[in-house]
Structure 1
């Protein structure tokens, strides 16, 4: 059965389009037109603008396109959605906002102490992993998916926790604590390891966990998160099996596997960049140490001849 039966609003989320456009326009107004109103501001870099626009496009694809609709039909697509929303988009968003703007926001009196605490590496990592793992406990996920307000708030909280988790890794804001490259390697590996139990629980389960993907009545209720109630009322649907021939058990296992694969690809990319930067710094430091040693040796030899 085609997804088009749910209507344009469910498939393309025009309200989210409006929000994305508003945020994008506001971004360019602040970073270009109103930039001089901010202390220590700098011209917007092309790379920053591209990263921000990419983050907005990805956000719409993940939360506003048919991907979001499919995420309520197939658990596999739910995990794809989670992986991109929590592990990829935050990278582009953090790097897309200029450092001077980040600094302005972070230095606000009511934000500074909270941000400083929430971005401490060990806490940020534990907080993100705990929220992600808690969310995928079957009874918790089913309960959240049946409440539109709770679902929206928890999704936002997850996304913010992902920003906190990535901040120690990729921020370059002056005055903000930065992890040493070697510590970043351990941080990334630790993140990958800590998320593994939640994925393993999903992958190696002996039966489907989530009633909102297997029980027809609960599934219809959960679909209200992305489909207008009036539209659902006019449809005679029994469950997600009308839109996919994938067995629920296989769907759940595949979702866990895909989540882990996407996570490993993204973390490997970040790890690769960290390692390259660390190697270059080590090479530069080695050259400086060598040059310094040669100068000291030359001075010592010169002193011996005087």
Structure 2
């Protein structure tokens, strides 16, 4: 949800598409939200990065995670916060929509690189836990397959390894974007120099 759905959604320019599709009255309300002080603050890359990490750690190491397994409404809230934090996190890096905080390509790489350790540490913490962190899985144990503790440890491994793979994929995407940006800039520069030489009659 956070590492696949969010960047793919942002790559499709959802804000631009929504603003073009809705009625003018709805568009004005959406623009008011997008241009609000709150959105300006929470979309700031440092704030978005911290929110992304805090939402992940906060849910996984609080009683609310287990409660979300028992309460459907809280479960929806959990996934909404996961997706919301992920959208804010990826927006200045991959988003096709205009962003008030568009980052230079080298900073985007650093931004994603620094996100990898917190993801790895979270996965390792789940993998290395000696007890089941969420009682729901103990009380709803299956008669087949791996134990709840082994399931939790496997989840930690997947979060660690697969999560880091997706961050690396995001970094590769940024590198490709950077190269294309430099190519376009070179073409524009060459065209401008050619026009200047032509104007001088060279």
Aligned match of 1:211:
135
- Other structure's SS at 1:179 match: coil
Aligned match of 2:24:
none
TM-score by length of 2: 0.78
Q: 1:139 to 1:133 in 2, by over 3 A?
A: same
Aligned match of 1:139:
63
Query: Following TM superposition, by how much is the alpha carbon of 1:179 offset from its aligned partner in structure 2, in angstroms?
Result: 0.9
- Other structure's SS at 1:257 match: helix
For the 8 Å contact 2:120–2:161, the answer to whether it is kept is no
Query: Following TM superposition, by how much is the alpha carbon of 1:290 offset from its aligned partner in structure 2, in angstroms?
Result: 7.9
For the 8 Å contact 1:138–1:209, the answer to whether it is kept is no
Query: Following TM superposition, by how much is the alpha carbon of 1:189 offset from its aligned partner in structure 2, in angstroms?
Result: 0.9
Which structure has the greater CA radius of gyration? 1
Aligned match of 1:153:
77
Question: Is the aligned partner of 1:108 residue 2:31?
Answer: yes
Aligned match of 1:221:
none
Q: 1:163 to 1:175 in 2, by over 3 A?
A: closer
CA deviation profile, 1:27-73 (whole Å, cap 9, x unmatched): xxxxxxxxxxxxxxxxxxxxxxxxxxxxxxxxxxxxxxxxxxxxxxx
How far apart are the structure 1 equivalents of 2:57 and 2:164? 17
Query: Following TM superposition, by how much is the alpha carbon of 1:115 offset from its aligned partner in structure 2, in angstroms?
Result: 2.4
Query: Following TM superposition, by how much is the alpha carbon of 1:91 offset from its aligned partner in structure 2, in angstroms?
Result: 1.8
Query: Following TM superposition, by how much is the alpha carbon of 1:167 offset from its aligned partner in structure 2, in angstroms?
Result: 0.9
For the 8 Å contact 1:102–1:173, the answer to whether it is kept is no
For the 8 Å contact 1:105–1:111, the answer to whether it is kept is no
For the 8 Å contact 1:106–1:112, the answer to whether it is kept is no
Q: Which residues of structure 2 form unaligned runs of 5+?
A: 21-26, 197-201
TM-score by length of 1: 0.54
Q: Which residues of structure 1 form unaligned runs of 5+?
A: 1-84, 217-238, 297-301
Of 154-163 and 168-177, the range deviating more from structure 2: 168-177
Aligned match of 2:142:
241
Q: 1:106 to 1:259 in 2, by over 3 A?
A: farther
Aligned match of 1:170:
94
